[in-house]
């Protein structure tokens, strides 16, 4: 028995990050740990964050969530990708759809044949070869792991859900696993004079909660990691200048789309996230170019259904904490950094931080090499996702001053090298554990109208007739199988309809 094992874990914050951490740690290490979560009703949560990527299914599996029960509890819908409208030029649209596209052949990816086909005028738009995009554009959905009788992957999906309800759902799981919850506002933090580690937190009512490992999920304020430990923050606004979002829920105007919409606006972009009982809407914008009133007006002018609440503005600063783990404090969620929700990556970064924390789980010695390795890995994840998001802004052909600035700005070397490689060779490679795989990069690079100078030479092995036939076959398989699936709304009604009623005007759910 190792007597330097950590026993007492304190999670500060009960937003998505806090309850995800509580549910995952209690499901995996609950027998060894005593876990306490502190949340403040007076402070509340950020109250946004509704779109995810497919890896969330791994997290839900880890904590033992039944998918249909989760969708019923959170008013959730299925998500097959993100549509980017007007991001290259006004009037254009492309999709970053999840999952593979087409079928690789003779060692090279499908898209190399598509690049050649496009050059020779025998290829249709990329989305017609993507099962996910074809199903999404038709408003359909079913759980299809493979396209029957073919070598082609089926549907890869994530979810849209009500984040507040997700946190409550996770709370039930965590409490059933033995997590203790304390409601109250932390007013003071005490540190060990010798180690500098956080020893306890005191609540406004005078009670004191001590622990060995503290997980800071206190949101943008970073109560422990920043306010107490002054860890520092790397500011990335030079590359991602948007610094505010105005958000408003609306009633649904029709059946829910099985994808997120991201629509470029004059100095930012608008999201639409369809849930079963309402639609989440927001406008991410740059305050150097647009006032809050103008940004709100643009959002309100572009809603599909009536608003259910007053619009509210959320300021943010894009970047990340210099160290996500400092001493005996590990920051997760908004306390660790912020990347705008363009590719729905924040909840994923929470999940990723939790998974890495479990794999680097410390003892009371808090070996600095372990902490440093965790920080390196988390920073790598943040930086690569940051690059992917910058890519959308940088490769635009729009006319407004904000977009010109994004086009002309210097970008990180890591991204510049990736763009140059693609421009010259049509190749893109996933490096180390970076989140977005090649086909994701490819969809955005081509969707933003970057046409590479060439493609892989092996794509020339097929004759022109063979190439034409190969592309046509994939397209036919994709289209015919997509057309067979039920409407997204019907699938939800049959499998996971939520009892959650549409919110009344003025309410926030
Ligand atoms: P919060 O929700 O802010 O929770 C902080 C918790 O700490 C609360 O419980 C609070 O009460 C507690 N707390 C704070 N101070 C104290 C104190 N002194 N004492 C006690 N308790 C305290 N992510 C996605 O993955 N997809 C999206 O589509 C998406 N959209 C977003 C849109 C916008 C505009 C923004 C700003 C974020 C978006 N995100 C999205 C990010 C997502 O909202 C967050 O990652 C997620 O909600 C996690 O938040 P959190 O738990 O870190 O912080």
**Cβ count near 425 (within 10 Å):** 13
Nearest-CA residue for atom 27 of ligand 1: 49
Strands of the sheet containing 337-338, edge to edge, are: 233-235, 319-321, 337-338
Model confidence band, residue 500 (pLDDT cutoffs 50, 70, 90): confident
Which one is predicted more confidently, 410 or 501? Answer: 410
pLDDT at 434: 86
Segment 8-65, tens digit of pLDDT: 999 999 999 999 999 999 999 999 999 999 999 999 998 887 999 999 999 999 999 9
Query: According to the model, what pLDDT value does residue 421 have?
Result: 96
Distance 506 CA to ligand 1 centre (A): 21
Atom in ligand 1 nearest the alpha carbon of residue 220: 3
Ligand 1 geometric centre to CA of 113 (Å): 43
The answer to whether residues 156 and 98 touch, using CB atoms and an 8 Å cutoff, is: yes
Query: Does residue 90 carry a pLDDT above 70?
Result: yes
pLDDT greater than 80 at residue 254: yes
The number of beta carbons lying within 10 Å of the beta carbon of residue 53 is 23
Task: Give me ligand 1 centre to Cα 86, in Å.
Answer: 29
Question: Could you tell me if 166 and 20 are in contact, meaning their C-beta atoms sit under 8 angstroms apart?
Answer: no
pLDDT at residue 138, as a whole number: 97
Q: Containing H/E element for 350?
A: helix 346-359
CA dihedral 46, 49, 50, 56 (to 10 degrees): -120
Q: Which of 42, 45, 211 to mutate to test the pocket of ligand 1 (most atoms within 8 A of CB)?
A: 45
Query: What sections of 272-321 are H helices per DSSP?
Result: 292-301
CA of 45 to the centre of ligand 1 (A): 5
* Spacing, Cα 85 to ligand 1 middle (Å): 27
Band of residue 433 on the pLDDT scale cut at 50, 70, 90: confident
Mean confidence (pLDDT) of the chain: 95
221 CA → ligand 1 middle, Å: 10
Closest CA to 9 of 28, 32, 39: 32
Q: Please tell me the distance from the alpha carbon of residue 175 to that of residue 166, in angstroms, as a whole number.
A: 14
- Indicate which residue's Cα is closest to atom 14 of ligand 1: 218
- Would you place residue 503 in the very low, low, confident or very high pLDDT band (cuts 50, 70, 90)? low
Ligand 1 neighbours, Cβ below 6 Å, are 13-18, 38-40, 43-46, 48-52, 163, 185-186, 217-219, 221, 223, 245, 247, 282, 314, 316, 333-335, 341, 344, 346-347
pLDDT tens figures, 218-242: 999 999 999 999 999 999 999 999 9
Q: From the alpha carbon of 41, which atom of ligand 1 is closest?
A: 11
Ligand 1 atom nearest the C-alpha of 345 is: 25
Q: Which one is the CATH code of 8-50+162-238+321-366: 2.60.120.200, 3.10.290.10, 3.50.50.60, 3.30.70.2660?
A: 3.50.50.60
pLDDT band at 253 (very low <50, low <70, confident <90, very high): very high
Please state, for a pLDDT cut of 70, what percent of the chain lies above it: 98
Choose which residue among 14, 285, 341 to substitute to test ligand 1 binding: the one with the highest number of ligand atoms within 8 A of its C-beta: 341
For atom 39 of ligand 1, the residue with the nearest CA is 49
Across 371-376, average pLDDT: 98
Using the predicted structure, report yes or no on whether residue 432 has a pLDDT greater than 90.
Answer: no
Closest CA to 398 of 442, 440, 342, 449: 449
- Rounded distance between C-alpha atoms, residue 289 and residue 72, angstroms: 41
Which residue has a Cα nearest atom 18 of ligand 1?
186
Work out the angle at residue 191's Cα, subtended by the Cα atoms of residues 187 and 197, and round it to the nearest 5 degrees. Answer: 125
Q: CA–CA separation, 226 vs 235, rounded Å?
A: 14
Q: Of 79, 323, 356, 418, which is the active-site residue?
A: 79
For the stretch 291-334, pLDDT in tens is 999 999 999 999 999 999 999 999 999 999 999 999 999 999 99
Residue 506's pLDDT is what?
40
Residue 508 pLDDT > 50, yes or no? Answer: no
Q: Whose CA is nearest to atom 38 of ligand 1?
A: 49
Q: How confident is the model at residue 507 (pLDDT cuts 50, 70, 90)?
A: very low
Tokens encoding 189:
């933090």
- Verify whether residue 79 is a known catalytic residue: yes
Residue 275 has pLDDT above 90, yes or no: yes
Convert the pLDDT of each residue in 202-214 to its tens digit: 999 999 999 999 9
Q: What is the pLDDT of residue 2?
A: 56
- Spatial contact of 165 and 105, defined as CB atoms under 8 Å apart: no
> 152 C-alpha vs ligand 1 centroid, how far in Å?
38
CB 157 within 8 A of CB 485: no
Once rounded to an integer, what is the mean pLDDT over residues 479-484? Answer: 97
The runs of H, that is alpha helices, within 436-503 are 438-447, 464-483, 488-495
Q: What is the mean pLDDT of residues 467-473?
A: 97
φ/ψ bin of 120: left (φ > 0), alpha (ψ from -120 to 50), beta (otherwise): alpha
Q: Which atom of ligand 1 is nearest to the CA of 17?
A: 51
In Å, how far are 85, 125, 162, 169, 176 from 172, measured between CA atoms? 39, 46, 16, 5, 6
| pLDDT band, residue 481 (cuts 50/70/90) | very high
379 touches 414 (CB < 8 A): no
Q: Residue 215 is inside which H or E element, if any?
A: strand 213-216
CB atoms within 10 A of CB 368: 9
Query: What is the residue-wise DSSP string for 22-59?
Result: HHHHHHHHTTT-EEEEEE-TTT-------B--TTHHHH
Distance 441 CA to ligand 1 centre (A): 28
Contacts of 225 (CB under 8 A, 6+ apart): 216, 231, 321, 324, 326, 329, 331, 335, 336
**Mutation pick for ligand 1 pocket among 10, 13, 165, 203 (CB with most ligand atoms within 8 Å):** 13
Q: Whose CA is nearest to atom 34 of ligand 1?
A: 245
Predicted TM-score of the model (pTM)? 0.96
Mean pLDDT of 435-446: 94
Among protein residues, the one with the nearest Cα to ligand 1's atom 6 is 13
| d(CA 17, ligand 1 centre) in Å | 7
Average pLDDT, integer, range 284-288: 98
Euclidean distance between the first and the last CA atom of the chain, given in angstroms as a whole number: 47
Please determine, for residue 509, whether its predicted confidence score (pLDDT) is greater than 50.
no
Q: Which of 18, 38, 49 gets mutated to test ligand 1 (max ligand atoms within 8 A of its CB)?
A: 49
- Residue % of the chain over a pLDDT of 90: 94
């Amino acid at each position: 028995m190792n007597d330097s094992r950590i026993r007492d874990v304190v999670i500060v914050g009960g937003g998505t990050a806090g309850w995800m951490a509580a549910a995952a740690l209690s499901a995996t290490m609950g027998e060894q740990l005593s876990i306490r979560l502190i949340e403040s009703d007076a402070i509340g949560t950020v109250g946004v964050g509704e779109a995810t990527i497919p890896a969330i299914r791994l997290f839900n599996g880890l904590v033992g969530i039944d998918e249909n029960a989760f969708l019923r509890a959170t008013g959730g819908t299925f998500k097959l990708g993100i549509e980017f409208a007007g991001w290259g030029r006004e009037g254009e649209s492309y999709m970053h759809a999840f999952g593979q596209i087409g079928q690789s052949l003779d060692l090279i990816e499908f898209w190399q044949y598509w690049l050649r086909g496009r050059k020779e005028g025998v290829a249709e738009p990329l989305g017609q070869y993507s099962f996910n995009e074809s199903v999404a554009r038709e408003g359909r959905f079913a759980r299809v792991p493979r396209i029957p009788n073919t070598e082609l992957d089926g549907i890869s999906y994530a979810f849209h859900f009500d984040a507040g309800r997700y946190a409550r759902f996770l709370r039930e799981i965590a409490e059933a696993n033995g997590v203790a919850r304390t409601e109250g506002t932390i007013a003071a933090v005490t540190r060990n004079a010798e180690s500098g580690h956080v020893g306890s937190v005191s609540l406004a009512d005078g009670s004191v909660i001590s622990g060995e490992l503290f997980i800071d999920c206190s949101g943008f304020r970073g109560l422990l990691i920043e306010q107490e430990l002054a860890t520092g923050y790397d500011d990335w606004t030079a590359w991602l200048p948007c610094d505010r979002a105005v958000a408003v829920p609306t009633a649904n105007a029709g059946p829910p789309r099985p994808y997120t919409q991201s629509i470029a606006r004059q100095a930012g972009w608008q999201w639409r996230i369809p849930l079963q009982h309402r639609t989440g809407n927001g406008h991410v914008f740059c305050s150097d170019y647009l006032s809050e009133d103008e940004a709100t007006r643009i959002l309100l002018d572009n809603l599909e259904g009536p608003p259910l609440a007053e619009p509210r503005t959320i300021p943010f600063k894009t970047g990340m904490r210099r160290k996500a783990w400092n001493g005996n404090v590990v920051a997760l969620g908004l306390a660790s950094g912020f990347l705008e929700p363009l590719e729905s990556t924040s909840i994923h970064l929470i999940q990723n931080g939790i998974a890495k924390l479990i794999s680097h789980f410390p003892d009371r010695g808090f070996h600095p090499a372990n902490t440093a390795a965790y920080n390196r890995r988390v920073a790598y994840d943040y930086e690569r996702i940051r690059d992917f998001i910058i890519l959308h802004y940088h490769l635009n052909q729009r006319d407004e001053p904000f977009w010109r600035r994004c086009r002309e700005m210097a970008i990180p070397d890591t991204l510049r090298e990736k763009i140059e490689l693609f421009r010259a060779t049509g190749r893109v490679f996933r490096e180390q554990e970076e989140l977005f795989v090649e086909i994701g990069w490819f969809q955005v690079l081509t969707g933003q109208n970057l046409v590479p100078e060439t493609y892989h030479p092996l794509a020339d092995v097929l004759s022109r007739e063979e190439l034409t036939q190969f592309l046509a076959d994939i397209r036919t398989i994709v289209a015919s199988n997509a057309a067979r699936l039920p409407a997204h709304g019907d699938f939800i009604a049959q499998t996971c309809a939520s009892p959650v009623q549409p919110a009344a005007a003025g309410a926030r759910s």
